[in-house]
Amino acid sequence: MLVLWPTPGAEIDPADAYARDSRPAPSGRPWVMINMISAVDGGATDPAGRSGGLGGPADKQVFAAVRSVADVIVAGAGTVAGEDYGPARLSPALRSARREQGRPEVPRIAVVTASLRIDPGRRLFAEAEPEARPLVLTTEAADADRRRALSAVAEVISVGEDRVDWHLALAALGEATGARVVLCEGGPSTNAQLVAEDLVDEMCVTLSPSLVGGAAPRIVDGPAAGRLVPLELGRALTADGYLFLRYVRR
In a domain, 238, yes or no: yes
Give the total number of structural domains in the chain: 1
pLDDT at 223 over 90: no
Is residue 108 included in any domain, yes or no?
A: yes
Long-range contacts of 45-49 (CB under 8 A, 24+ apart): 45/212, 45/216, 45/217, 46/212, 46/216, 47/212, 47/214, 47/216, 49/82
Task: Assess if residue 25 is contained within a domain.
Answer: no
**Residue 34: inside a domain, yes or no?**
no
Share of the chain above pLDDT 90, in %: 95
The upper half-sphere exposure of residue 76, i.e. CA atoms within 13 Å in the direction of its Cβ, equals 19
Residue 131 has pLDDT above 90, yes or no: no
What does pLDDT average to over the chain? Answer: 96
Question: Does the residue 172 lie in any domain?
Answer: yes
Global model pTM greater than 0.85: yes
Domain interval for residue 190: 2-6+57-212+227-242
The rounded distance, in Å, linking the Cα atoms of 162 and 15 is 39
The CATH number of the domain holding residue 145 is 3.40.430.10
Q: Regarding predicted confidence, which is higher, 131 or 182?
A: 182
CB 140 within 8 A of CB 161: yes
Average pLDDT (63-87) is 96
Q: How far apart are CA 48 and CA 45, in angstroms?
A: 7
Q: Mean pLDDT, to the nearest integer, of 119-145?
A: 95
Q: For residue 140, what pLDDT is reported?
A: 97
* Residue 15: inside a domain: no
